[in-house]
Amino acid sequence: MVPDIDLQLRVVLKALRDVVAPAIDPANRLAVEQLHLSIATLGMVQARLPLAGARVRAELANAIALAEAAGGAGFGSLVAAAKAALDDPRCNADALEAQKTQLLAAVSGLVEDAPDGDSADVLARAIVSASRPQFDLIRAWCLSAGFEPDPEEVPALETLLSGASA
């Protein structure tokens, strides 16, 4: 097996297109549809693979902004640790994901414990507003799937990742 992931994906895609696709009974519409979806998904993964590191960093930056906007007491040390991880070019994707998970769990806990009333409304508005960059990132990441109703509304993926280094 060749260790190059891009080459592995190219081999699998070629096999699916050249060998598997012709072998599927065209009358089996579900199988044909699923094969085309599988090929499209693998193609998207292949195209996005070089950007995966930058995406993880952008998602952590978005989580930091969300935690700061939520303004929860006790977030200071979590935010500081996440910022330190984000600033460390040697920090791997798993460590960055762990930082993101901790921040989002803290925000989730804040939401769960929020009392009803005006303060809960203020928190909800802050979270919705601060969530926009992450939603834009997800929309841009998946744009090539073709499900976006207004693709011209979606910011360019490169712009959203420009602040994050791979």
Residue 12: exposed, middle, or buried by beta-carbon count in 10 A (0-12, 13-18, 19+)?
A: middle
Higher pLDDT, 139 or 116: 139
Is residue 76 included in any domain, yes or no?
yes
Q: What is the mean pLDDT of the chain?
A: 91
Residue 7: exposed, middle, or buried by beta-carbon count in 10 A (0-12, 13-18, 19+)?
A: exposed
Q: Are residues 35 and 66 in the same domain?
A: no
Q: Are residues 44 and 57 in the same domain?
A: no
Q: Are residues 40 and 105 in the same domain?
A: no
Segment 41-77, tens digit of pLDDT:
999 999 999 999 999 999 999 999 999 988 866 788 9
Q: What is the pTM of this model?
A: 0.81
By residue range, what is the domain housing residue 122?
51-161
* pLDDT for residue 2: 61
Q: Are residues 55 and 35 in the same domain?
A: no
Is residue 102 included in any domain, yes or no?
yes
Q: Where are the alpha helices (DSSP H) in 16-51?
A: 21-23, 29-48
Q: Are residues 57 and 131 in the same domain?
A: yes
The answer to whether residue 166 scores a pLDDT higher than 60 is: no
Segment 110-122, tens digit of pLDDT:
888 877 777 788 8
Is residue 147 included in any domain, yes or no?
yes
Q: Are residues 72 and 135 in the same domain?
A: yes
Is residue 166 included in any domain, yes or no?
no
